[in-house]
């Protein structure tokens, strides 16, 4: 099943600051802090994604790819704007040291665009997108965001975002194959991009958990065994994207994801197809 890439202008409802608990996923500190870390990462990554692919578009000579690339970029612009709003709830909790981690990511993306060749930047985008395709499929198919004990306002942010990740899952791959088609270099860039985001999530999750544990008690502590279990799961998802026969075109989209796409299209303030 292929989903059309639909650009939805959303305005999702924020939790109240005094009601927001960082343990938003079933009081599970591992799932909660790592997903909050991902949210913090995206407003630095996604403007970079847009700029890198817009630069690559100048060398694309396939009208269908150009059309999907434009929709992809417009979806990504919506994503980081919504995550910025939600991230203010996280920063308002005042985590000393969080700014330094965020600034390092910001500087990395500025340096990549200024100093790295286009092939590196397009490869980084494709490496990240291949990983988020795995995250999106696993999360939405599991129904984790629909379970009791999940903050539904944060869940809505991730459900909507991940639905659109599956809608545009083939775009960066198609741009990469059209421009380069270099399998060994692609694997290298998957490794670089995927560990870049995972390191950010690991550092921010560890920091926030440590601060909240000191302030509010042990229920905010990420157990080491679960932390390394999350690492093992991430590495398994990485490996899928390194295979020579990997293609996001092969991913089967469940009917439940199609229903989510319809739901968010109806919920959007405006829609562009």
pLDDT one-digit tens code per residue, 162-179: 999 999 999 999 999 999
pLDDT at 2: 78
pLDDT at 273: 75
The answer to whether 23 touches 32, Cβ cutoff 8 Å, is yes
Please check the confidence at residue 1 and state whether its pLDDT lies above 80: no
Confidence of residue 272 (pLDDT cuts 50, 70, 90): confident
% of residues, the chain, pLDDT over 70: 100
The answer to whether 64 touches 1, Cβ cutoff 8 Å, is no
- Alpha-carbon gap, residue 220 to 212, rounded angstroms: 6
Average pLDDT over all residues of the chain:
96
0.85 surpassed by pTM: yes
Determine the average pLDDT of the residues in 74-103.
97
pLDDT at 31: 96
Determine the average pLDDT of the residues in 17-40.
96
The answer to whether 24 touches 150, Cβ cutoff 8 Å, is yes
Q: Which domains does the chain have, with CATH numbers?
A: 29-272 (1.10.620)
Determine the average pLDDT of the residues in 61-65.
96
**Cα–chain center distance at 219:** 26
What DSSP string runs through the chain?
A: ------EEE--PPPPPGGG--S-TBTT-HHHHHHHHHHHHHHHHHHHHHHHHHHHHHTT---HHHHHHHHHHHHHHHHHHHHHHHHHHHHHTT--TTHHHHHHHHHHHHHHHHHHS-HHHHHHHHHHHHHHHHHHHHHHHHHTGGGSTTB-HHHHHHHHHHHHHHHHTTTHHHHHHHHHT--HHHHHHHHHHHHHHHHHHHHHHHHHHHHHHHHHH-GGGPPPHHHHHHHHHHHHHHHHHHHSTT--GGGPPPPHHHHHHHHHHHHHSSEEE-
Determine the average pLDDT of the residues in 214-228.
97
- Give pLDDT tens digits for 32-48: 999 999 999 999 999 99
pLDDT at 183: 98
pLDDT at 130: 98
- Give pLDDT tens digits for 89-114: 999 999 999 999 999 999 999 999 99
- Give pLDDT tens digits for 109-150: 999 999 999 999 999 999 999 999 999 999 999 999 999 999
- Alpha-carbon gap, residue 186 to 192, rounded angstroms: 10
What is the number of alpha carbons within 13 Å of residue 228 lying toward its C-beta? Answer: 2
Confidence of residue 7 (pLDDT cuts 50, 70, 90): very high
pLDDT at 156: 97
Please check the confidence at residue 191 and state whether its pLDDT lies above 70: yes
- Alpha-carbon gap, residue 24 to 90, rounded angstroms: 11
- Alpha-carbon gap, residue 244 to 34, rounded angstroms: 29
């Amino acid at each position: 099943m292929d989903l059309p890439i639909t650009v939805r202008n959303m305005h999702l409802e924020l939790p109240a600051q005094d009601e927001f608990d960082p343990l938003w996923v079933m009081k599970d500190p591992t799932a909660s802090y790592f997903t909050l870390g991902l949210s913090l990462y995206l407003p630095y990554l996604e403007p970079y994604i847009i700029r890198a692919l817009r630069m690559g578009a100048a060398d694309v000579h396939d009208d269908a790819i150009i059309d999907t690339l434009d929709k992809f970029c417009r979806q990504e612009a919506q994503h980081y704007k919504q995550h910025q709003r939600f991230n203010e709830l996280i920063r308002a909790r005042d985590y000393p040291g969080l700014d330094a981690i965020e600034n390092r990511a910001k500087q990395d993306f500025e340096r990549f665009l200024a100093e790295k060749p286009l092939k590196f930047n397009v490869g980084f985008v494709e490496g990240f997108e291949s990983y988020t395709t795995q995250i999106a499929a696993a999360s939405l198919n599991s129904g984790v965001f629909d379970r009791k004990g999940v903050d539904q306002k944060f869940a809505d942010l991730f459900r909507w975002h991940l639905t659109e990740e599956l809608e545009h899952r083939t775009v960066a791959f198609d741009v990469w194959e059209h421009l380069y088609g270099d399998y060994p270099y692609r694997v290298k860039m998957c490794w670089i991009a995927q560990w870049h985001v995972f390191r950010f999530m690991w550092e921010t999750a560890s920091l926030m958990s440590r601060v909240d544990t000191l302030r509010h008690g042990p229920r905010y502590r990420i157990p080491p065994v679960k932390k390394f279990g999350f690492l093992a799961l991430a590495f398994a998802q990485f490996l899928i994207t390194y295979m020579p026969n990997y293609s996001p075109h092969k991913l089967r989209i469940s009917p439940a994801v199609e229903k989510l796409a319809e739901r968010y299209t109806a919920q959007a303030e405006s829609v562009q197809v």
